[in-house]
Structure 1
Amino acid sequence: MKPLLKYRNLFLAFFFLLFIAFNGYAQGQPFQNEINSILDKYPENSYQKGGIVFTGSSSIRLWENLEEDIPNNKIINTGFGGSQTHELLFYIEETILRYSPSKVFIYVGENDIQEGKAVKQILQEYKALYKKIISHNPNTELFFISAKPSPSRWEKQKQFEQLNEKTLALCQQLGNMTFINIWDEMLDENGRPKEGLFVQDKLHMNKKGYAIWANKITPHL
């Protein structure tokens, strides 16, 4: 075999293996199937740019009556699984940027705390989300929904309260970024979670819980 042909074949083989490895990595990413379902739900030309995106973890994904609870708005729901903030960053093109939204409502952070991630790291990832979205469209308005007081995760109360406090401060520091406090209204007179707002797993919400969210979000639309 001629030397040049030999090197060319080695070169092609290397990049073929690299492509296979990268493709396998991408397919193996957590939530890839859910992301594919979102793309199938909102194919190109099926939505108007400049609408309103709700995204984040399962509390958004499971908001089945979102368009009924917040009517008369062009809403796109791209919530997925038990996602953390770094995973939303990984899929930011599929969940936010491709829609060129005028407003983005984000609920992440609760799963991060549950998995032991430090509040400081979560805030850095919030900043990264902000920078990517604003660099795509400086006029986009961001709304960070506070962590909710889930009864099944109440042992991490202090971490959630710290995350909410720091997120509020970050929103006050940055432009086009608003903090929506749903924590306080989901507590009873003893400062504990109202269990009547949650389904059996004491993590996800029922209609009463989502009604509180809708009431807090609607003034920002």
Structure 2
Amino acid sequence: MKYFFTFTLLMSWWLTSAQTATPTIVIKAAIPFEHADELPWLTRYQKDINYYQKQNKRLPNLQCDALFLGSSSINMWDSIYEDFGPLQLIRRSYGGATLRDMIYNYPTIAKGYQPKNIVLYVENDLGTHKEGVNAVQCFDLFRILIGKLKAEYPNTPLWVLSLKPSPHKAHQLADQLLVNAFLQQNAELQGYTYIDITSVMYDAQGQLRTDIFKEDELHLNAEGYKLWTAILKPILTAPHH
């Protein structure tokens, strides 16, 4: 059995000049995207989803200061509850998550909560593996998930984090930068806020710091998460949120 996702990408570029009175130019291009996913691939993290379904039933309520959604970079944030204290968090992430199975698992991981903020981080859709997609398709998948979140939580601030660089995925850096550029350009159109969490990961010489990663050279260590916390905590604790 196969599930088919067919998306159409609408890219808008705003080209303006601060020095001249040149009017804004909007360029629109429709790019068809069709991808077939085997059901077993979509449901490969069903144990995590089953666990969250049980957790949701045990929670006294589904209110929280921030709902964290995403992949292993969120799931392996071992100190996340302490780092953001005294905020009340609900984390619905799982290692290896992609935007596609998050869309499929949306009813469990994202529907029906009462968050004051939503934080989204996913980086696993890109790649040359069997189910990998290119930067344009990855951005399109982001738009679909973001669209669902904004439809359900129209008045809730949504913070979309930039895809992070890492030594392990150095070959994906060009695509990551392209996705980040798309996400930043699209933020106002879809009503979310793009948060750059990558610039702090470089040293004064512009080199990616290696001391902020675990031995796998992919996931952040405690020092790396300190950098992210320093950016996100002031945002999530700001009075207007």
TM range (shorter): 0.7 to 0.9
Q: Does 2:147 correspond to 1:131?
A: yes
Q: Does 2:121 correspond to 1:107?
A: yes
Give % identity: 27
The alpha-carbon deviation at position 171 of structure 1 amounts to 1.0
Other structure's SS at 2:51 match:
helix
Indicate which of 158, 164, 178 corresponds to 2:193: 178
Show the 5 A alignment for 1:54-133: 54-108=68-122, 110-114=123-127, 115=129, 116-133=132-149
Aligned equivalents of 2:83, 2:92: Cα separation in 1: 17
One-letter amino acid of the structure 1 residue matched with residue 52 of structure 2: I
Count of aligned residue pairs for this structure pair: 195
In structure 1, stretches of 5+ residues that fail to align are 1-24
- Deviates most, 54-63 or 132-141: 132-141
The alpha-carbon deviation at position 84 of structure 1 amounts to 0.9
CA deviation vs aligned residue, 1:151-200 (integer Å, no higher than 9, x gap): 1111221111111111111113222x011111111012343321100111
Aligned to 1:220: 235
Indicate which of 202, 211, 218 corresponds to 1:187: 202
The alpha-carbon deviation at position 26 of structure 1 amounts to 7.8
Other structure's SS at 2:118 match:
strand
The alpha-carbon deviation at position 123 of structure 1 amounts to 1.7
Contact 2:64–2:89 at 8 Å: present in 1 too?
A: no
Aligned equivalents of 2:214, 2:41: Cα separation in 1: 32
Query: CA 1:59–1:130 in structure 2 vs 1: closer, same or farther (change >3 Å)?
Result: same
TM-score, reference length from structure 1: 0.81
The alpha-carbon deviation at position 44 of structure 1 amounts to 4.8
- Deviates most, 126-135 or 152-161: 126-135
In structure 2, stretches of 5+ residues that fail to align are 1-38, 237-241
Query: CA 1:66–1:26 in structure 2 vs 1: closer, same or farther (change >3 Å)?
Result: same
Aligned equivalents of 2:180, 2:156: Cα separation in 1: 22
Q: Does 2:209 correspond to 1:202?
A: no
**Which of structures 1 and 2 has the bigger CA Rg?**
1
CA deviation vs aligned residue, 1:61-108 (integer Å, no higher than 9, x gap): 111111111111110011112111111111112111131323110101
One-letter amino acid of the structure 2 residue matched with residue 201 of structure 1: D
- Deviates most, 83-92 or 48-57: 48-57
Aligned equivalents of 1:53, 1:187: Cα separation in 2: 28
In terms of fraction of residues, the more strand-rich structure is 2
Aligned to 2:157: 141
In terms of fraction of residues, the more helix-rich structure is 1
Q: Does 2:171 correspond to 1:158?
A: no
- Deviates most, 70-79 or 123-132: 123-132
The alpha-carbon deviation at position 50 of structure 1 amounts to 5.0
One-letter amino acid of the structure 1 residue matched with residue 145 of structure 2: L
Other structure's SS at 1:98 match:
coil
Other structure's SS at 2:168 match:
helix
Aligned equivalents of 1:95, 1:59: Cα separation in 2: 16
Contact 2:42–2:104 at 8 Å: present in 1 too?
A: no
Aligned equivalents of 1:192, 1:88: Cα separation in 2: 32
